[in-house]
């Protein structure tokens, strides 16, 4: 923004008043035609009273200081002003010359004021003295009363909660101010600084995982629309941040601008710079080279690759949610949260006739659908001595989806029990998002064989069986001996 554009109110007032002061000293101003048609500028000698006021009207729009020092009452122009912004903070500072506040009741004061600019107002021979800090309210209004007649620098110091992406630059305002319509003095000066708002809505999404078990890869995407700036403004800051959940480990990041990948180190920096990083506070900061490419572009997209390491505990166990933020020129916009959901699976293998009896040695495979391929990374599930099978964590969905059906197929029954066949070997299990403590146990029963079985363990049982076997052998041997004797007797 040019110097003349930054301070239209002040320079018009100062130019007119300076002309008046020079006229009082006998210096010719302007052409004879201009003097014949323009009303004479007001003279400092005509200033009455000792104090005035500045009324700040803060609105959204292209930055500038619209207005002519008077309050805008025309309904059409009021509508054109845009949204009034509450909560914006301004500092008011008085300009001094050689340590003495400039007095605009005198021609000498106007002479000093004529050479003041926003850029040199704090540089010798000029200096600034703090007067007051005000905050807009009631539709973007802030009033500074009882200001001694002088020259004031008005600076926006805080946007409050407003996402201001192009703030108004500091402006010089004189009190009093020339009313150009009738060449009189305005003692209540109205200024209308505008700001360009960042009204973009960044988004964060999460993809389906690369696998269905803990340790699988999950990709998060942050899409940051590039806000429009005010005329002459530049992208001074563009940072995307994302505090990852402690259950996530960052393994990689890709940054692109309208589909074209940016160069790490040249166009942006990534923090942390050492991967993998558990529960990382991620910051993607565009460098000057990266920001220079933003004009007339649409979106910056950041893809973060993570792995899920655990379910966690408590109410959020298994529900992993994250929100990202985009900071453009200190205006911050947040995404809605994106969430990936995981839960535990527990199967109890029991006897059909004694449901409390856990059976060891049953083997299963895990599938996403009945008859479908096995879930990668699981392998064979075998019941332990208590008949229990546990899968620490399985993906159940994203967002509001908190349950998912899986299928297990029994491939080997416990010793002494019948292995189901066909559809009977398949069992549907429903996994719900939550910590390990919230698992719902799925019981799967097996039927024992009906026929006689060898004893599985125990010396007593084995001994009895062997004794019975020996007795049978002895009986068989005796019968054979008797038959042989009968045969010999018949031969005689």
Element holding 60 (H helix, E strand): strand 59-60
- Helices (DSSP H) in 190-259: which residue ranges? none
The dihedral built from the CA positions of residue 349, 354, 358 and 361, taken in this order, carries a sign that is negative
Give the pLDDT score at 31: 31
Bridge partners of residue 252, in order along the sequence: 305
Coil, strand, or helix at residue 33?
helix
Place of tokens 């064979």: 380
Residue 403 · residue 396 · CB < 8 Å: yes
pTM of the entire structure? 0.76
Per the omega criterion (within 30 degrees of 0), is the bond before 176 cis? yes
Residue 72 burial (10 A CB sphere; 0-12, 13-18, 19+): middle
Cα distance between residue 93 and residue 478, in whole Å? 127
Q: What string of DSSP letters covers 175-207?
A: ESEEETTTTEEESEEEEEEEEEE-----EEEEP
The dihedral built from the CA positions of residue 166, 171, 177 and 182, taken in this order, carries a sign that is negative
Cα distance between residue 9 and residue 305, in whole Å? 53
For the chain, how big is the Rg over CA atoms in Å?
A: 43
CA-based angle 268:322:274, to the nearest 5?
A: 40
Element holding 3 (H helix, E strand): helix 3-6
Give the pLDDT score at 37: 45
Residue-by-residue pLDDT tens, the chain, 492 positions: 333 333 344 444 444 433 333 222 222 223 333 333 455 567 888 899 999 999 999 999 877 655 789 999 888 888 888 899 999 999 999 999 999 999 999 999 999 999 999 999 999 999 999 999 999 999 999 999 999 999 999 999 999 999 999 988 899 999 999 887 777 999 999 999 988 999 999 999 999 999 999 999 999 999 999 999 988 899 999 999 999 999 999 999 999 999 999 999 999 999 999 999 999 999 999 999 999 999 999 999 999 999 999 999 998 999 999 999 999 999 999 999 999 999 999 999 999 988 889 999 999 999 999 999 999 999 999 999 999 999 999 999 999 999 999 999 999 999 999 999 999 999 999 999 999 888 888 999 989 887 654 444 444 444 444 445 454 444 555 555 455 555 444 444
Cα distance between residue 195 and residue 227, in whole Å? 13
Residue 121 · residue 142 · CB < 8 Å: no
Q: At what angle do helices 107-114 and 8-24 cross, to 10 degrees?
A: 130
Cα distance between residue 412 and residue 454, in whole Å? 19
Q: In this structure, how many other beta carbons lie within 10 angstroms of the beta carbon of residue 10? A: 26
Residue 190 · residue 72 · CB < 8 Å: yes
Nearest to 400 by CA among 461, 338, 348, 447: 338
Cα distance between residue 204 and residue 338, in whole Å? 6
Cα distance between residue 407 and residue 446, in whole Å? 17
Structure tokens at 383: 């019941």
The dihedral built from the CA positions of residue 477, 481, 484 and 490, taken in this order, carries a sign that is negative
121-149: b (≥16 Cβ within 10 Å) or e: beeeebbbeebbebebeeebebebeebbb
Cα distance between residue 26 and residue 101, in whole Å? 26
Cα distance between residue 343 and residue 405, in whole Å? 11
DSSP letter assigned to residue 27: -
What is the distance in angstroms between the CA of the first residue and the CA of the last residue of the chain?
140
């Amino acid at each position: 923004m040019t110097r003349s554009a930054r301070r239209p109110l002040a320079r018009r007032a100062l130019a007119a008043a300076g002309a008046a002061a020079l006229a009082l000293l006998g210096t010719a101003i302007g052409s004879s035609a201009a003097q014949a048609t323009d009303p004479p500028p007001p003279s400092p000698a005509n200033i009455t009273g000792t104090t005035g006021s500045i009324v700040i009207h803060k609105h959204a729009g292209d930055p500038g200081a619209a207005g002519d020092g008077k309050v805008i009452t025309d309904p059409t122009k009021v509508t054109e002003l845009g949204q009034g912004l509450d909560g914006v903070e301004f500092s008011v500072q008085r300009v001094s010359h050689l340590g003495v506040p400039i007095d605009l009741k005198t021609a000498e004061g106007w002479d000093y004021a004529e050479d003041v600019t926003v850029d040199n107002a704090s540089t010798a021979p000029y200096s600034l003295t703090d007067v007051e800090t005000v905050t807009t309210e009631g539709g973007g209004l802030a009033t500074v009363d009882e200001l001694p007649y002088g020259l004031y620098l008005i600076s926006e110091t805080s946007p409050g909660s407003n996402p201001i992406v192009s703030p108004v630059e500091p402006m010089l305002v004189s009190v009093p101010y020339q009313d150009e319509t009738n060449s009189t003095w305005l003692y209540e000066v109205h200024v209308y600084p505008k700001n360009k708002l960042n009204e973009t809505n960044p988004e964060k999404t999460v993809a389906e995982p690369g696998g269905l078990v803990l340790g699988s890869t999950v990709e998060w995407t942050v899409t940051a629309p590039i806000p429009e700036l005010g005329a002459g403004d530049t992208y001074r800051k563009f940072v995307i941040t994302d505090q990852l959940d402690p259950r996530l480990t960052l393994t990689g990041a890709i940054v692109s601008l309208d589909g074209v990948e940016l160069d790490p180190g040249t166009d942006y920096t990534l923090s942390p710079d050492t991967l993998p990083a558990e529960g990382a506070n991620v910051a993607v900061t565009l460098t000057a080279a990266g920001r220079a490419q933003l004009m007339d572009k649409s979106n910056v997209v950041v893809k973060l690759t993570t792995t899920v390491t655990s379910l966690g505990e408590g109410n959020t166990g298994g529900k992993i949610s994250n929100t990202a933020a985009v900071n453009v020129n200190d205006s911050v916009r947040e995404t809605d949260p994106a969430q990936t959901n995981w839960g535990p699976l527990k199967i109890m293998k029991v006897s059909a006739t004694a449901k409390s009896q856990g059976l060891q040695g049953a083997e299963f495979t895990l599938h996403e659908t009945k008859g479908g391929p096995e879930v990668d990374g699981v392998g064979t599930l075998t019941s332990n001595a208590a008949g229990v099978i546990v899968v620490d964590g399985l993906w159940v969905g994203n967002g509001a989806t908190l349950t998912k059906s899986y299928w297990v197929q029994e491939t080997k029954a416990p010793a002494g029990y019948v292995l189901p066949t066909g559809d009977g070997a398949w069992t549907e299990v429903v996994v719900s998002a939550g910590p390990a403590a919230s698992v719902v146990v799925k019981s799967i029963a097996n039927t024992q064989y009906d026929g006689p079985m060898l004893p599985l363990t125990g010396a007593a049982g084995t001994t009895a069986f062997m004794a019975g076997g020996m007795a049978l052998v002895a009986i068989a041997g005796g019968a054979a001996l008797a038959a042989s004797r009968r045969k010999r007797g018949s031969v005689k």
